[in-house]
Amino acid sequence: MNLGYTDAELAFRDGVRAFVREKLPQDIARKVLEHKRLGKSDFMRWQDILAARGWLAGHWPAEHGGCGWSPVEVHIFDEETAAAGAPRLIPFGLQMVAPVIMAFGSRRQKERYLPRIRENKDWWCQGYSEPGSGSDLASLKTRAVRQGDHYLVNGQKTWTTLAQHADMIFCLVRTSVEARKQEGISFLLIDMHSPGISVRPIVLLDEESEVNETFFEDVKVPVENLVGEEGKGWSYAKYLLGYERTGIAGVGASKREFATLKDIAEKEMRNGKPLARDPRFAARMAEVEIDLMALEMTVMRVLSARVKAPGPEASILKIRGTEIQQAIAALMMEAMGPYALPFDPDAMDLDCREPPVGPDYAAPLAARYFNLRKTTIYGGSNEIQRNIIAQMVLNL
């Protein structure tokens, strides 16, 4: 793999930088860079800007309305937008269900859903986990019983990220209780505005409710919303999870956060000198930086080698990416010392009028630290990812 950018790739990078410099709203960038609270309108505004430019789905194949960007161009776009303070793209439609629809969906599903995702008209969420069916996802119990031209869905999903904003949900449901548990699962696309769907927020440690419980009570779903074949949903789910786990690595955002960590370490004084010059703290930062560089190279290798979809190597990216995210957050907290301890939810808003305890940049760090504890769990816990690597890579 050539680690240097070609002239064409450098020109692409310059184009992305110029576009972001001109079009990224500064109030949104400030929220991201200062770890403030983002609302639905912030995500939608930025994604509308990208959609108007034709870049929201730039990584999609041209045949589906994307730009057909190369893996290197995708990496450059992610890195440049993250560094500038752009919000992450909501992945559920763009990076998760869209590849499944492209690979296994019907012609009607492709024509109906892909343009709406590409144009930022639908917000999607994911209906996988259930109470008692998280890591053992194949034990899910939400039922879909076919009745003529529709399914009747009953059950509960949990940890449904941003379901309170969603227009659509891609959902794993059990269509057979007689087959082997993996073979009785199907993949449905469900309108979140359907009668019988209710969403109840789950309040997290940072006092946000980004995840929810989602309930289905006699929800009618047209049979035409079944993706692929009935009973094949487990295969489609694994295909989707490869894309999710690759995206969770979050190299661009981690590089931005590491730069913030270095800046904090230069500002904070210990024994009359910047913390960055403390040998032990500097060594720990160097260790994280090396890990991040190695992760970036691994991501590039995986993306460059991709033929159809990410395989078990996506588990490696998920493990290391989430561990690095948590390590950076922990070092930020340690760098701030006692100033990182007070947790004031109001400090998460740009218009907070109460002065924080200590430097302004210390106030949101506890909330961010709390929130990032979940990254090693969602998308399949890191323990499960290690089992996947052992079985499929190491043949243990």
The per-residue pLDDT for range 264-295, each reduced to its tens digit, is 999 998 889 999 999 999 999 999 999 999 99
Both 228 and 265 in one domain: the answer is no
> Residue 121's pLDDT is what?
97
Both 377 and 289 in one domain: the answer is yes
253 closest CA partner among 382, 80, 127, 93: 80
Both 371 and 255 in one domain: the answer is yes
DSSP H/E element including 215: strand 211-222
Domain boundary among 199, 232, 265: 232
> Residue 230's pLDDT is what?
96
> Residue 310's pLDDT is what?
62
Both 264 and 384 in one domain: the answer is yes
Give this prediction's pTM: 0.89
DSSP states along 371-392: HGGGGGTTTS-HHHHHHHHHHH
Mean pLDDT of the residues in the chain: 90
Domain interval for residue 82: 7-89
Q: Which residues pair with 171 in a beta bridge?
A: 127, 188
Both 181 and 208 in one domain: the answer is yes
Both 185 and 272 in one domain: the answer is no
Domain boundary among 232, 260, 292: 232
DSSP H/E element including 99: helix 98-104
Cα angle 376, 46, 204 (rounded to 5 degrees) comes to: 35
> 4-23 pLDDT, tens per residue?
789 999 999 999 999 999 99
Inter-axis angle of helices 313-336 and 279-305, to 10 degrees? 160
Task: Give me the mean pLDDT over the 90-114 stretch.
Answer: 96
Domain boundary among 68, 89, 110: 89
Both 183 and 211 in one domain: the answer is yes
* CATH at 154: 2.40.110.10
102 in any annotated domain: no
Residue scoring higher pLDDT (212 or 181): 212
Task: Give the chain's domain count.
Answer: 3
Both 141 and 166 in one domain: the answer is yes
> Residue 358's pLDDT is what?
73
Both 312 and 368 in one domain: the answer is yes
- Would residue 244 show up in a list of annotated catalytic residues for this protein? yes
308: pLDDT strictly greater than 90: no
Residue scoring higher pLDDT (117 or 376): 117
97 in any annotated domain: no
95 in any annotated domain: no
196 vs 216: CA distance, rounded Å: 6
Per annotation, catalytic residue among 244, 268, 296, 313 = 244
228 vs 234: CA distance, rounded Å: 11
> Residue 245's pLDDT is what?
62
81 closest CA partner among 157, 13, 134, 178: 13
Both 152 and 257 in one domain: the answer is no
113 in any annotated domain: no
Confidence of residue 3 (pLDDT cuts 50, 70, 90): low
* CATH at 363: 1.20.140.10
223 in any annotated domain: yes
Both 227 and 265 in one domain: the answer is no
Q: Percent of the chain at pLDDT above 90?
A: 66
168 in any annotated domain: yes
Both 269 and 370 in one domain: the answer is yes
240 in any annotated domain: no
295 in any annotated domain: yes
337 vs 111: CA distance, rounded Å: 54
Which residues, at least 6 apart from 173, have a Cβ–Cβ distance to it below 8 Å? 140, 142, 143, 144, 151, 153, 155, 185, 186, 188, 233
